[in-house]
Copies of this chain bind each other. A is one copy, B any other.
Amino acid sequence: MHVSENRLREHLLTNGEFGAIEVEEGYGRTVLTGSKADQRAREHFVEQLNELGMSVTIDAVGNIAGRWVADETDPDASPIAAGSHLDSVPNGGIFDGPLGVYSALEAVRTMQKEGVQPDRPIVVVSFTEEEGGRFDVGTLGSSVATGDLSVEEALALTDDDGKSLKEYLTQIGFQGNGTLTVEDWDAWFEVHIEQSTTLERSNIPLGIVSAITGIKNCNIEIIGDSNHAGGTHMYDRSDALLGASEFISTVNEIAREVVETESEFAVATVGNIEVDPNARNVVPGRVEINTDFRDTDLQVMEKIADRAKKSLARIGKEHDLVTEFDTYRTIDPVSMSDRCINAIKRGSENRDIQTINLPSGGGHDSMNIARVTDAGMLFVPSQDGISHNPQEWTDWEDCAQAGNVLLDAITTLAGVNEK
């Protein structure tokens, strides 16, 4: 039983034409929630669901679900759901999202073609505004469907033009009623591009996501003395930028050490820095930076933050600087369920597809779903780790293999192989 590579490719290329942008190489698209491109992508997806005789629901925030109940399926059994999202960042690629939606659709088509009769209904889903490209709130649709965000709050969100989600959805005819009842799903699967290079580096075609990493953000403030660069002797300085530089190097060392000894995928990043007065001829008096610590283990995240905090204090003493370390946000890591991980593993083993378990460093709808039901994610290699970019690319063969394993995972949990 095989998902058709050609069909899957056709789906992604066709969907890629909605909001397509001119690019010299690759395939670029901009699909913001409520745009004409979004409307066409949604309408095309609904047509595809109808074509397979699936009953389509649109919920209050525009999440789309197609439900397939075969003759022998128990309509009251909790369904197996799979999908992802169809929106994109501005000038994004054609794989991020649509691959998860259309591989799920093709899995259903394949079951139907092969006359498979699953015990449980199968639901194929596309969530609204996963990228946050319009309202700057990522995984919006799944947050509502899992109760993390109320329908009212979501619909009231406005974009830079002051226009609300409700207005945009109404305008494109995709503002329905109620919300998807994710908590009733027996399990959820999402196929997605890795957006990193772990699979590519190890030359492995499929990744089984073990967990979605948590995030700990800390604000660091370093205060020294702003002084004339010419008049201030090297030994009279309290240089806030020098302190910040040593802190940035130290955070990097801490993270590499943790990667070596404890958690291969832990990451620590200092991505932004604000210097005052930030003038060539003035010893910097004040620096603000923001750290981003991620791992699948909350304790590891805490440990990195704790070591970073201690290092900052030491650097402050050494350089006569006043320092502040303030944690302003901690998002807990979320594990994928063993049931789903094993179903994916079993499928790939049956097909002799090599896999590794790896975490997802980025957030996905699965992050919200895993909090209310069993969830599993399949990663395919991203060429050079590039995503959110027309250069985003995954070989069609890898897409199809992921589709096949998704198919197997769904049939396993939907109670087909038990027949």
Contact = CB atoms under 8 A, between A and B. Distances in A.
Give the number of times this chain occurs in the complex, counting copies: 2
Contact of A272 (B232, B259, B278): B278
B271 A283 contact: yes
Contact of A284 (B215, B242, B271): B271
Main secondary structure of the interface of A (DSSP, over half): mixed
Contacts of A256: 234-235
A385 to B, nearest CB: 7
B283 A362 contact: no
6 contacts: A232-B361, A239-B252, A239-B269, A269-B280, A271-B275, A272-B280
Contacts of A388: 228
A323 to B, nearest CB: 16
Contact of A195 (B215, B231, B275): B231
Contacts of A248: 241-242, 245
A251 to B, nearest CB: 9
Given A242-B248, A245-B248, A292-B280, A387 B228 contact: yes
A201 interface: yes
Contacts of A195: 228, 231
A194 interface: yes
A337 interface: no
Contacts of A361: 228-232
B232 A196 contact: yes
Interface string A235-276: 110010110111011001001100100000111111111010
